[in-house]
Amino acid sequence: MGRDTRELASAWSRYQRHAFHRPSPALAPWVDHYWEARWDYAEPYRQKIVPYPNVHLPFGSGRADVNGVCSSYQIKVLEGRDHVFGVAFRPGCFRPFLGASVSTITDRVVPATGVFGPAVPTMLDAPTIDAFLLKHLPDDDTRVRQAVAAVELIVKDKAMTRVKRLAGELGLSMRGLQRLFAEYVGIGPKWVIRRYRLHEATARMAAGGVIDWAGLAGDLDYADQGHFIRDFKNMFGEPPTWYAQRY
């Protein structure tokens, strides 16, 4: 079967529009950003969604759900004309809203009413969602700050490729680091490290030009190109050369 040409060479941009908004300053410690997606497809389109370690709260089609961190890519079928408004919580920050370990909703979708109560908004705009979340603003939690710092260290330090080194930088035991990530991030530190290092690979694809795949694998601290390809395929559902065609 041939590929859907709408997913090649950024052709999706003819059918979809995306926008991003900042939350109010009071929510900034908890919420990374708001996002909007609009689409118009005469024929159904299989949208690939590759995760980051964010919990999302999307509003659309008359309902709202909490999407836990996904351990692998997802496929969402888009058809007709529709609109979704979503909240992306900062990695490590959803635990106080949930009132339970974030790992309990990993790879799961749960109704937002089960987390926030019955008064979930139906209007899809930043002021409405700001007001809603401010009513549910949790108390300060020092472990949240520790989890946020751990993820930010992974994001900022491109040489951070080993869990053991991350634990040492944070002054935690390996077991303590694993517990922190399970409770507050919802997925293990090894996964988060791999996800952000693979983000560097997709950034190079988006920049264009010829990629030295073996050299890239070495830059990302993979033992060999084959290991890099396997990790990439597990996360993105296709090999890197195939995925690069999307750009």
Segment holding 9, helix H or strand E: none
- 10-residue stretch averages of pLDDT, the chain, 247 residues long: 86 94 95 97 95 96 93 95 96 97 98 93 86 93 96 95 96 97 98 96 90 92 93 94 91
Instruction: Mark out the alpha helices in 157-224 (DSSP H runs).
Output: 163-170, 174-180, 189-207, 213-219
Question: Phi/psi of residue 88, each to 5°?
Answer: -105, 110
Measure the CA–CA gap between 183 and 114, rounded to whole angstroms: 19
Which residue from 29, 79, 33 is spatially nearest to 58, judged by alpha carbons?
33
| CA quadruple 50, 80, 61, 84: dihedral sign | positive
* Tokens matching residue 62: 């008359």
Beta-carbon count within 10 A of 200 CB = 12
67 burial level (CB within 10 Å; 0-12, 13-18, 19+):
buried
* Tokens matching residue 142: 């020092």
pLDDT of residue 61: 82
* Tokens matching residue 190: 């090894």
The β-bridge relationship of strands 63-67 and 56-60 is antiparallel
Complete domains list, the chain, with CATH: 5-135 (no CATH), 142-244 (1.10.10.60)
* Tokens matching residue 42: 């005469």
pLDDT of residue 123: 73
Which residue from 150, 142, 69 is spatially nearest to 102, judged by alpha carbons?
69
Could you please report the per-residue DSSP string of 66-125? EEPPPSS-EEEEEEEEEEEEEEEEPTT-SHHHHTS-GGGGTT-EEETHHHH-S------S
Segment holding 234, helix H or strand E: helix 225-236
pLDDT of residue 1: 56
Measure the CA–CA gap between 119 and 132, rounded to whole angstroms: 9
**Amino acid at site 42:** A
What is the pTM for the complete model shown? Answer: 0.93
Residue 233 · residue 241 · CB < 8 Å: no
Beta-carbon count within 10 A of 96 CB = 16
